[in-house]
Amino acid sequence: MAVGLIIIVIIRNRDFSLFFLYLYMYYFIGDIMKVKIIDCEHEEDLEEAINSFLKEDIILKDIKYQACHFTNNGEQIYSFSALIIYE
């Protein structure tokens, strides 16, 4: 129902380029993209986890990497994470 309403609004505003962009994103990207989030306390563990995941039969689109650190009761804690976008 919401998809039909969005299409009607776009057609009434005569913005057909946005309409075709919406159709492209919904039909060709929306249903086939997947994500995998990996979080580790050591960068070597993250590297190993990413490499083992990439051995699977996937089509890799992008990898986003993040590192952060904080303290908890005086203890330094590191977090290394990756967001893998694939088909």
Domain spans, the chain: 1-32, 33-87
For the segment 11-45, what is each residue's pLDDT rounded down to a tens digit?
454 455 555 555 566 666 556 678 888 988 899 99
- C-beta of residue 80 within 8 angstroms of C-beta of residue 46: yes
The larger pLDDT score, comparing residue 69 to residue 24, is at 69
- C-beta of residue 27 within 8 angstroms of C-beta of residue 3: no
Cβ atoms within 10 Å of 58's Cβ, excluding its own: 13
Question: Is pLDDT at 46 greater than 50 in this prediction?
Answer: yes
d(CA 58, CA 28): 17
Single-letter residue type at 5: L
Q: What is the pLDDT of residue 71?
A: 86
